């Protein structure tokens, strides 16, 4: 085994030729510890000690006769090909979208509510765009993605696809739309029919800011300029005092 080097091979061959079994056991444990130090990064692996003893038996050509803590591996298992992994052999029309897009389309087809179905198809459309940009450098046009969406859905979502082609995808996902409808129902129950639709009008912050600024501006305009008024008053008082003073000798 090349990962341990020729020196480990020579030591294993020397241990096999030893006649004293107690001495072979001692030197075999020392050699396993040396093999452990050669690859310290594999210590965290599971059954690492068992692997070291298996490697020692393989290096010795399965001729090592020692009392190891693990049973020796069978020579038939050496070089045996691993079992083939059963991959998913589903026929995907567009592999870069994956199987999850097909599952989402099946769920969208089975959705009964039209608004939820439109939101669902819009979400799938945006998801297909993100997957396309991940595997391709070009930014696809909407017609290309909608044509692929028609093929994947087999024409069962034609009404929603035509709406997206004409008006674009809606922003809300099905989950978001349901939450917003629940909030609207809560607003209707609390407010009654006062506003006609159950929506609470949001305050216009710009008007408040403008009104606040106008009030402040008017109040500032009406305020006397104390900074200069004080100076003017002081100047007038000083002039009056100077005029009231009598010159000496008159």
pLDDT at position 184 is 47
Domain ranges of the chain: 6-77, 98-178
Could you give the CA distance from residue 161 to residue 125 in angstroms, rounded to a whole number? 9
pLDDT at position 89 is 63
pLDDT at position 193 is 42
pLDDT band at 242 (very low <50, low <70, confident <90, very high): low
The mean pLDDT value for 79-87 works out to 77
The least confident of 71-85, 116-130, 139-153, 219-233 is 219-233
Average per-residue pLDDT for the chain: 74
Residue whose tokens read 């083939």: 84
H-assigned helices in the chain: 6-16, 21-38, 48-59, 98-109, 114-135, 142-153, 158-167, 174-191, 205-222, 226-244
pLDDT band at 122 (very low <50, low <70, confident <90, very high): very high
Which tens digits make up the pLDDT trace of 177-234? 555 544 444 444 444 444 433 333 334 444 444 444 444 444 444 454 444 444 444 4
């Amino acid at each position: 085994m090349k990962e341990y080097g020729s020196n480990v091979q020579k030591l294993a061959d020397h241990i096999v030729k030893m006649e004293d079994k107690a001495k072979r056991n001692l030197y075999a444990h020392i050699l396993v510890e040396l093999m452990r130090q050669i690859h310290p990064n594999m210590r965290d692996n599971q059954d690492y000690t068992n692997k070291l003893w298996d490697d020692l038996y393989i290096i010795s050509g399965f001729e090592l006769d020692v009392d190891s803590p693990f049973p020796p591996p069978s020579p038939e298992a050496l070089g045996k090909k691993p079992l083939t992994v059963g991959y998913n052999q589903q026929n995907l029309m567009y592999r870069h979208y994956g199987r999850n897009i097909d599952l989402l389309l099946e769920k969208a087809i089975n959705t009964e509510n039209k608004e939820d179905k439109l939101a669902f198809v819009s979400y799938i459309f945006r998801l297909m765009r993100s997957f396309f940009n991940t595997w391709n450098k070009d930014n696809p046009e909407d017609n290309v993605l909608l044509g692929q969406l028609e093929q994947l859905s087999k024409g069962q979502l034609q009404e929603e696809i035509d709406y997206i082609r004409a008006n674009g995808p809606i922003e809300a996902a099905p989950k978001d739309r349901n939450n917003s409808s629940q909030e609207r129902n809560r607003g209707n129950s609390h407010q009654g029919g006062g506003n006609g639709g159950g929506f609470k009008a949001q305050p216009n912050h710009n008007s408040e800011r403008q009104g606040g600024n106008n009030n402040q501006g008017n109040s500032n305009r009406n305020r006397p300029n104390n900074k200069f008024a004080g100076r003017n008053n002081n100047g007038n008082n000083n002039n009056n005092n100077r005029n009231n003073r009598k010159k000496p000798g008159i």
